[in-house]
């Protein structure tokens, strides 16, 4: 590692010219300042970026499973054994590493045994979310037909090249049901009665499910436990689970309500009452963070505090990003809290729900519970969040965007024959290049953004992002959150030279821009090859944009 002063000397000598004004695009407004700088410190590795931080979440909630993923084998919607084909085709392009199912809150009401065996014999059950649904919502959203169960989910994962992450029911099923679910999924062909049941359904080979959530939001919908009570349950439910072929299970403990580190401390204190080695039974500790309160400090009420997905002012744009930025302090706080009982950090963070959460009213399919229209604001939010994960590779081992389709921060919206990739879906496609890369330290310097917050000046950072390296390929992703100002920026690479470069930019002149079933191409990324840079390297980041620079180094 070079000391900082030496680094600056090196970087000045290594300057190369990048494109900027030549990039004649309606998306590139004239720069408002040339005093921004990004330093990429190639010889300060932070750790390998786990591909699983680019994970997904598909809860059995309203239009996520029924209509979103599962259309049924007899549907007119093109499908692969009942699974929406267009979704599979798109997901294959973003390298999805892992999908969490079946919840969320739904998981602690779900009996996995209802979702196996012949589909025409499976029971209908009241969905956890039924009482929130509108009277006119389709029956499968209220009364779970169990057509999409463990087999179908495993098949979906196989089709898209993902690992499954199942959340076990800790509130309403006994521990026995958990280990039988593991046995159903993982016992070798012909070995157990449950393996035979799986084979009878057409799946002789084990699903080899590694990731298992031990409940969900156990402080609330997942059992209303105290942290100490949950730790006792965690120990009991995980005291014995079957392991096959010496493949260990990766067990994920339910984390706090928001940023409440007293839960984290309480859970660990109780867990290790049976001995320090108990921490090794926990692979991951779950964090959930939704950016929902756009009230600018007026209320903490869950309903009153929410903003609108489509109708918003610049102040709401910045407030959402501020709420989202809290993710970084949550990661740091909980990492520290875990260290009190786990100084070696054998437990990693699993941010298995994240995204913005708006009030109802912008649904692409009216009546779909928790569905919201995804705008450029959500793309910028998502780029910002993925960059946070990239900057903490030693801490965050998995993250799951809430949710995959037709719910909250959707990558895709679908209804019957309609399907569209949202701006968030495009961000995931852009950021896939970071997966398994070596994160390297990046330092962003730009004059802060100031905006009016109810008569008082508030500020937000003006440029941020992350960088990763794989062999000689450097990926730099950058968010410019300013709703109005382009940011001319000097990009300084640590004594490295660039052979070739491309820029992929997701932006629009309207901060409310979004893709609909009728207008699918309003917000789409544009990629340009950059002429081989020679001298000073500067690049102008468009306002309200997410940018990926792909640099091949000499």
SS3 annotation, 183-240: HHHHCCCCCCHHHHHHHHCCCCCCCCCCEEEECCCCCCCCCCCCHHHHHHHHHHHHCC
- Write out the binding residues for ligand AHR, residues 343-362 only, by CB under 6 A: 353
Residues 6+ positions from 384 with CB-CB distance below 8 Å:
321, 324, 325, 464, 479, 481
Nearest position to ligand AHR, beta carbon: 104
Check binding of 60 to ligand AHR (CB under 6 A).
no
Given a contact cutoff of 8 angstroms between Cβ atoms, the answer to whether 494 and 41 are in contact is yes
What string marks each residue from 110 to 149 as x (binds ligand AHR by CB under 6 A) or -?
Answer: ----------------------------------------
Given a contact cutoff of 8 angstroms between Cβ atoms, the answer to whether 448 and 461 are in contact is yes
Q: Cα-Cα-Cα-Cα dihedral of 390, 392, 398, 402, to 10°? A: -70
Check binding of 105 to ligand AHR (CB under 6 A).
yes
Check binding of 293 to ligand AHR (CB under 6 A).
no
What string marks each residue from 406 to 435 as x (binds ligand AHR by CB under 6 A) or -?
Answer: --x---------------------------
SS3 169: coil
Nearest to 423 by CA among 322, 309, 326: 309
Given a contact cutoff of 8 angstroms between Cβ atoms, the answer to whether 475 and 467 are in contact is yes
Q: How many residues bind ligand AHR (CB under 6 A)?
A: 10
What minimum distance in Å lies between the beta carbon of 217 and ligand AHR?
5
Which one of 63-71, 103-111, 142-150, 196-204 is the stretch in contact with ligand AHR (CB under 6 A)?
A: 103-111
Cβ closer to ligand AHR: 217 or 233?
217
What is the spatial distance between Cα 472 and Cα 463, in angstroms, rounded to a whole number? 25
Is the CA virtual torsion 505, 510, 512, 518 positive or negative?
Answer: negative
Which one of 102-110, 228-236, 378-386, 481-489 is the stretch in contact with ligand AHR (CB under 6 A)?
A: 102-110
Cβ closer to ligand AHR: 101 or 181?
101
Cβ closer to ligand AHR: 270 or 371?
371
What minimum distance in Å lies between the beta carbon of 221 and ligand AHR?
7
What minimum distance in Å lies between the beta carbon of 167 and ligand AHR?
9
Cβ closer to ligand AHR: 414 or 462?
414
Cβ closer to ligand AHR: 105 or 173?
105
Cβ closer to ligand AHR: 105 or 462?
105
Cβ closer to ligand AHR: 170 or 549?
170
What string marks each residue from 368 to 407 as x (binds ligand AHR by CB under 6 A) or -?
Answer: ----------------------------------xx----
What minimum distance in Å lies between the beta carbon of 373 and ligand AHR?
17
- Write out the binding residues for ligand AHR, residues 24-43 only, by CB under 6 A: none
Which position among 97, 104, 324, 533 is part of the footprint of ligand AHR (CB under 6 A)?
104
Tokens 């599979």 locate to 88
Residues 6+ positions from 467 with CB-CB distance below 8 Å:
40, 390, 439, 440, 441, 442, 474, 475, 476, 477
Check binding of 170 to ligand AHR (CB under 6 A).
no
Token pair belonging to 512: 């409310």
What string marks each residue from 211 to 230 as x (binds ligand AHR by CB under 6 A) or -?
Answer: -----xx-------------
What minimum distance in Å lies between the beta carbon of 102 and ligand AHR?
10
Cβ closer to ligand AHR: 349 or 469?
349
Cβ closer to ligand AHR: 28 or 129?
129
Given a contact cutoff of 8 angstroms between Cβ atoms, the answer to whether 504 and 526 are in contact is yes
Check binding of 59 to ligand AHR (CB under 6 A).
yes
Number of helical H runs and strand E runs in the chain: 11, 25
Cβ closer to ligand AHR: 59 or 152?
59
What is the spatial distance between Cα 176 and Cα 178, in angstroms, rounded to a whole number? 5
Helices (H), 22-174: 85-92, 139-142, 150-160
Check binding of 164 to ligand AHR (CB under 6 A).
no
179 alpha carbon, distance to own chain's centre:
28
What minimum distance in Å lies between the beta carbon of 467 and ligand AHR?
30
Cβ closer to ligand AHR: 15 or 255?
255
Cβ closer to ligand AHR: 101 or 419?
101
Nearest to 369 by CA among 119, 33, 127, 145: 127
Residue 454 gets the label, from left (phi > 0), alpha (psi -120 to 50) or beta, of: left
Check binding of 103 to ligand AHR (CB under 6 A).
yes
Cβ closer to ligand AHR: 172 or 417?
172
Peptide bond preceding 380 in cis form (omega within 30 of 0): no
- The crossing angle, in degrees rounded to 10, of helices 227-238 and 175-186 is 50
- Write out the binding residues for ligand AHR, residues 514-553 only, by CB under 6 A: none
Q: Which residue ranges make up the site for ligand AHR (CB under 6 A)?
A: 59, 103-105, 216-217, 353, 402-403, 408
């Amino acid at each position: 590692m070079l000391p900082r002063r030496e680094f600056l000397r090196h970087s000045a000598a290594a300057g190369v010219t990048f494109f900027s004004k030549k990039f004649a695009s309606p998306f590139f407004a004239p720069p408002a300042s040339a005093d921004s700088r990004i330093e990429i410190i190639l010889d300060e590795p932070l750790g390998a970026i786990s591909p699983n931080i680019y994970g997904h979440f598909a809860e059995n909630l309203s239009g996520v499973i029924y209509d979103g993923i599962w259309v049924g084998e007899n549907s007119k919607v093109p499908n692969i054994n009942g699974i929406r084909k267009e979704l599979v085709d798109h997901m294959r392009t973003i390298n999805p590493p892992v999908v969490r199912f079946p919840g969320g809150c739904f998981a602690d009401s779900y009996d996995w045994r209802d979702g196996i065996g012949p589909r025409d014999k499976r029971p209908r059950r009241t969905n956890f979310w039924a009482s929130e649904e509108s009277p006119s919502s389709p029956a499968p959203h209220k009364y779970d037909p169990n057509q999409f169960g463990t087999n179908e989910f495993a098949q979906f994962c196989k089709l898209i090249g993902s690992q499954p992450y199942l959340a076990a029911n800790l509130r309403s099923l006994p521990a026995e049901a958990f280990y039988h679910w593991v046995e159903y999924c993982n016992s070798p062909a012909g070995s157990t009665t449950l393996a035979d049941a799986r084979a009878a359904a057409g799946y002789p080979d084990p699903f080899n499910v590694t990731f298992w959530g031990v409940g969900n939001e156990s402080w609330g919908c997942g059992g209303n436990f105290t942290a100490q009570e949950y730790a006792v349950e965690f120990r009991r439910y995980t005291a014995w689970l079957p392991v096959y072929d010496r493949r260990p299970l990766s067990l994920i403990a339910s984390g706090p309500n928001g940023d409440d580190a007293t839960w984290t401390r309480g859970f660990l204190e109780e867990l290790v009452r049976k001995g320090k080695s108990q921490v090794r039974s926990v692979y991951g500790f779950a964090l959930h963070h939704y950016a929902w309160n756009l009230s600018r400090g007026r209320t903490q009420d869950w309903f009153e505090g929410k903003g609108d997905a489509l109708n918003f002012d610049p102040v709401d744009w910045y407030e959402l990003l501020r709420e989202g930025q809290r993710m970084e302090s949550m990661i740091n706080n909980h990492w520290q809290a875990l260290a009190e009982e786990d100084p070696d950090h054998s437990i990693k963070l699993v941010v298995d729900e994240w995204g913005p959460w708006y009030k109802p009213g912008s649904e692409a399919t009216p009546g779909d519970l928790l569905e919201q229209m995804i705008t450029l604001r959500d793309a910028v939010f998502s780029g910002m969040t993925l960059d946070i994960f990239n900057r903490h590779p030693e801490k965050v081992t998995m993250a799951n965007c809430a949710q995959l389709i037709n719910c909250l921060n959707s990558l895709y919206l679908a209804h019957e024959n309609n399907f569209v990739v949202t701006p968030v879906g495009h961000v995931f496609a852009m950021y896939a290049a970071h997966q398994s890369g070596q994160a390297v330290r990046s330092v962003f310097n730009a004059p802060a953004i100031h905006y009016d917050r109810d008569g008082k000046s508030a500020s937000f950072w003006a440029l941020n992002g992350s960088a990763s390296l794989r062999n000689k390929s450097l990926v730099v992703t950058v968010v410019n959150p300013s709703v109005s100002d382009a940011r001319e920026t000097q990009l300084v690479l640590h004594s490295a030279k660039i052979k070739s470069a491309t820029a992929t930019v997701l932006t629009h002149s309207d901060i409310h821009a979004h893709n609909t079933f009728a207008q699918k191409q309003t917000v789409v990324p544009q990629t340009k090859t950059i002429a081989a840079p020679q001298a000073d390297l500067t690049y102008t980041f468009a306002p309200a944009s997410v940018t990926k620079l792909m640099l091949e180094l000499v």
